């Protein structure tokens, strides 16, 4: 018996609905990492978490922008682990700001790192190591407000280095352009820490714009960022990353990000938004219909095909 035949994740059809994937993996009190670095942010998954009224989450993300701002406003998050927070190109995220300003009882916690500090935690987690050493906090005051950041002496040079512990999220949600039914996920364009997050997490949900045959995946193997061996569920969700973008499928909805700055300042308007576009729809299909075909046409991309390569040997 080979190693592949021992792993039940290899040849299992993992396609399911977003509702099922979230209900099976994300529980109140879970630690959750929704990936996507400006690109391929799984907003559809966040909306389903809000609809299921899951609370007490430790939400982890290098850049907790609008996706976590919505979850914080909905009461899903009790702790935020991050390295930069804001509405890209516009300013702060106001639900997070209000939560911190009104945090008199200390029931909302934050744990802040530099980008590389948080990436280092994922590198340790994905490598099966207990911690990751780095130098990047010398001269920084972040360790003064984050007791998780420690120091360690190098056994070879005796140099004192900073160390951060391994990060092993309970659930990782990765949006991609295409995947097969087994969970082999392909990504092109800007990538974040999708690979490291998937290998560090205990359970992984792949959300794909398109489901393709395994032969398509095998014909272009170097584009496979997440292999099926770490994937638990696959969700087919076209437009699932809106208002962020999916390279080759639709553009970023810049107007939404600009409007969010004004909308999220007003708790009444924000409640109306969540009631109409999150709680008021059953799934992503209804969300997209509510957004209107005019927006879809506006965000449509022009085709720019990448030339294939010869894998012959």
Determine the Cα–Cα distance for residues 50 and 209; give it in Å rounded to an integer: 21
Q: Is the pLDDT of residue 293 over 70?
A: yes
Determine the Cα–Cα distance for residues 298 and 173; give it in Å rounded to an integer: 27
> What percent of the chain clears pLDDT 70, i.e. is strictly above it?
98
Q: Among 86-90, 211-215, 241-245, 287-291, where is mean pLDDT lowest? A: 86-90
What integer pLDDT is reported at residue 9 of this predicted model?
A: 72
pLDDT one-digit tens code per residue, 238-276? 999 999 999 999 999 999 999 999 999 999 999 999 999
Mean pLDDT of 189-197: 96
Cβ count near 104 (within 10 Å):
6
Cα angle vertex 98, ends 270, 275, to 5°?
20
Determine the Cα–Cα distance for residues 112 and 142; give it in Å rounded to an integer: 7
What integer pLDDT is reported at residue 292 of this predicted model?
A: 87
pLDDT one-digit tens code per residue, 101-156? 999 888 999 999 999 999 999 999 999 999 999 998 888 899 999 999 999 999 99
| Closest of 90, 91, 95, 105 to residue 59, by C-alpha | 95
What integer pLDDT is reported at residue 2 of this predicted model?
A: 46
What integer pLDDT is reported at residue 89 of this predicted model?
A: 82
pLDDT one-digit tens code per residue, 16-47? 999 999 999 999 999 999 999 999 999 999 99
Homologous superfamily of domain range 9-115+169-299:
Glutaconate Coenzyme A-transferase (3.40.1080.10)
Q: Is the pLDDT of residue 208 over 80?
A: yes
> What percent of the chain clears pLDDT 90, i.e. is strictly above it?
88
Q: Regarding predicted confidence, which is higher, 1 or 140?
A: 140
Adjacent-strand bridge partners of 64 = none
Quickly tell me which residue has 């997070």 as its tokens.
96
What integer pLDDT is reported at residue 3 of this predicted model?
A: 46
Structural contact between residues 87 and 66, judged by C-beta atoms closer than 8 angstroms: yes
Give the CA distances from residue 19 to residues 44, 49, 184, 203, 269, in Å, rounded to whole numbers and listed in that order: 10, 9, 21, 16, 26
What integer pLDDT is reported at residue 297 of this predicted model?
A: 94
Determine the Cα–Cα distance for residues 227 and 185; give it in Å rounded to an integer: 6
């Amino acid at each position: 018996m080979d190693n592949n035949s021992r792993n039940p994740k290899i040849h299992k059809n993992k396609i399911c609905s977003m509702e099922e994937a979230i209900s099976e993996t994300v529980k109140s009190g879970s630690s959750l990492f929704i990936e996507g670095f400006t690109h391929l942010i799984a907003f559809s998954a966040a909306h389903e978490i809000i609809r299921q009224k899951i609370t007490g989450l430790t939400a982890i993300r290098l850049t907790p922008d609008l996706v976590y701002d919505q979850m914080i406003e909905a009461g899903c998050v009790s702790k935020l682990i991050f390295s930069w927070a804001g509405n890209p190109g516009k300013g702060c995220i106001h639900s997070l700001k209000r939560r911190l300003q009104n945090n008199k009882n200390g029931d909302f916690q934050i744990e802040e790192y530099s980008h590389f500090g948080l990436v280092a935690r994922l590198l340790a987690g994905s490598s099966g190591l207990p911690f990751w050493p780095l130098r990047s906090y010398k001269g920084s005051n972040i360790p003064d407000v984050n007791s998780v950041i420690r120091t360690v002496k190098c056994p070879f040079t005796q140099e004192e280095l900073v160390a951060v512990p391994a990060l092993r999220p309970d659930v990782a949600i990765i949006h991609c352009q295409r995947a097969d039914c087994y969970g082999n996920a392909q990504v092109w364009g800007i990538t974040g820490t999708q690979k490291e997050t998937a290998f560090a997490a205990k359970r992984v949900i792949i959300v794909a714009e398109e489901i393709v045959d395994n032969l398509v995946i095998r014909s272009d193997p170097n584009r496979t960022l997440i292999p099926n061996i770490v994937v638990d569920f696959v969700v087919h969700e076209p437009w699932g990353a809106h208002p962020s973008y999916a390279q080759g499928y639709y553009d970023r909805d810049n107007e939404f990000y600009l409007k969010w700055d004004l909308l999220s300042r007003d708790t009444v308007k924000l409640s109306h938004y969540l009631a109409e576009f999150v709680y008021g729809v059953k799934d992503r299909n209804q969300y997209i219909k509510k957004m209107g075909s005019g927006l879809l046409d506006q965000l449509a991309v022009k085709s720019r095909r990448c030339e294939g390569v010869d894998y012959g040997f």
